[in-house]
Amino acid sequence: MTITSSVHNSENFVFRFLRLSLISTLANMTVPLAGLIDAIFLGHIDNIKMLAGVTLATIIFDYLYRILQSLRDSTSAITAHALGSSRQQEEILLAILQGGFVALVVGLVILLLQYPLQILGFAILNGTPDIETQGMIYFQARIWGAPAVLLIYVLTGWYLGQKQQRTVLIMSLVGVASNAMLDYGMIVRLGWGAFGAGIATALSQYIALSVALVGVCLQIKWSKLQQVSSLVLRWKALKKILALSGNITVRFLVLISAYAIFTNFSATQGNLTLSSNGLLLQWILVGAFAIHGIRLTSQTFIGSFASKGADELVLKSLYLSMLTSIPIVFGFAVLPLFFPVKMFRLLTNHTELYPIMQETLIWLFPFLLALASASMLEGYFIGLKRGVTLRNAALAAFIVMYLPISITARYLENVNLLWASLVVYMAGTAIYLARCVLAERVFEQTVDTPPDESRSILTKV
């Protein structure tokens, strides 16, 4: 290969990565916009208890949905690896059938267990009776979207694994647009409050799912459907997605537990602290999902390159994802420092929340910077299908670093120390994963090398 062609290929790789990252980021940002849109509409209603109640109920959905985003990541990684297979079409079809089967079963189980989940969730959370009542109303409406949400995760991972970010963007835009219109109609026009916010979100999820399924029907090889369908329930084929999903699920469970403890401890400091921290957390989550959009592109490239043995491009994808995430961190963390009042007015018209929000704005930058670093490293290990490393990193940072600081913050009733616990958790996760990359030089190994999946990283780092 000549120097000229090498430079051209390098430029082409960077351009493709940046283009797909932009599309993936835009698509992924629409996910938390559903919660942010609900919060904005409810934040402009006179009854602040509705906003506080929905904030608490959202914690339960964080557990139900975000920990199951492992279905998206595992499907994405398996689909990306299938692109380098000699039986590409069959393995790509098998990935979506297996993921869809698991998602549908779990979604139906959630619907069957919705009442005990509601009782358990609100028994753990701290809130006044009036606030919990509003939260339960929201929960009972939104829970019916569970099967659609989980199927969307699988279809999103399937599209991303094939580098079809445009389809994901279209699906996501349809979902968020329909959610906004339904929110306006049900909250503002009909005055349904928390119930309207919940049912609007659930309906918009089914609308987005319909768009995604149309794309699947146009792409799959129907002639191979019967042959591949017979493999869906075979343990040898199914255990790949279950094993990877299981380890990634633990990682998501730990992360959402950190957010839940943060919100729950905020509630112990009063309704004002709970509401202000909840609104700022919604803002952060929009930025986090933008960062995760880059991670999704990175893990797709890494999985595809790893299946072909292109180790140099695997590492290059990691470095490029790190650099690409920096502007997002500055955008979501620095701009609010210069225009705080405009941001506050966007989120709520309850001016009594502004002083607390102003006091805690300083934590946006360190938190998002640590989150970006951890997220890109997580995408690296997901792309290599090394779920055990993610699991161990999350558990170590949560137990050793997050819990002691957050518990101290609750005891002292210090809102800044509470934010510091989140920053330390993200930084600890990033440091752990970075040490794994440096210590084991996993970028020089192929995905067939089993060390990470066969023994604990905790004994080696």
pLDDT tens by residue, 215-246: 888 887 777 777 777 777 777 667 777 788 78
pLDDT for 444 equals 53
Contact of 313 with 341, CB cutoff 8 Å = no
Question: What are the DSSP calls for 394-428, one per residue?
Answer: HHHHIIIIIHHHHHHHHHHT-HHHHHHHHHHHHHH
- Grouping H, G, I as helix, E, B as strand and the rest as coil, residue 84 is coil
Neighbours of 352 (CB within 10 A): 12
- Residue with the larger pLDDT of the pair 66 and 411: 411
The pLDDT-based confidence of 88 (bands split at 50, 70, 90) is low
Q: How far is CA 414 from the centre of its chain?
A: 28
Task: Report which of 459, 460, 402, 456 is spatially closest to residue 429, judged by C-alpha positions.
Answer: 402
The tokens for 408 are: 């101290």
Radius of gyration of the chain (CA): 22
The burial class, CB within 10 Å (0-12 / 13-18 / 19+), for 50 is buried
Distance CA 436, CA 457 (A): 8
Q: How far is CA 336 from the centre of its chain?
A: 23
The upper half-sphere exposure of residue 421, i.e. CA atoms within 13 Å in the direction of its Cβ, equals 27
Location of structure tokens 């089967």: 101
Distance CA 429, CA 461 (A): 13
The pLDDT-based confidence of 460 (bands split at 50, 70, 90) is very low
Any idea where the domains of the chain sit in the sequence?
1-233, 235-444
DSSP symbol at 62: I
pLDDT for 442 equals 46
- Render pLDDT for 181-197 as a digit per residue (tens, 0 to 9): 998 888 888 878 888 88
pTM of the model: 0.75
- Residue with the larger pLDDT of the pair 260 and 85: 260
Distance CA 347, CA 279 (A): 7
Residue 207: pLDDT above 90? yes
What is the average pLDDT value for the chain, to the nearest integer? Answer: 80
Location of structure tokens 């403890």: 261
Query: In the predicted model, what is the mean pLDDT of residues 120-141?
Result: 83
Task: Report which of 255, 260, 164 is spatially closest to residue 212, judged by C-alpha positions.
Answer: 164
Residue 209: pLDDT above 80? yes
List phi, psi (to 5°) of 443. Answer: -70, -10
Task: Report which of 16, 17, 13, 21 is spatially closest to residue 290, judged by C-alpha positions.
Answer: 21
Contact of 34 with 176, CB cutoff 8 Å = yes
The pLDDT-based confidence of 141 (bands split at 50, 70, 90) is very high
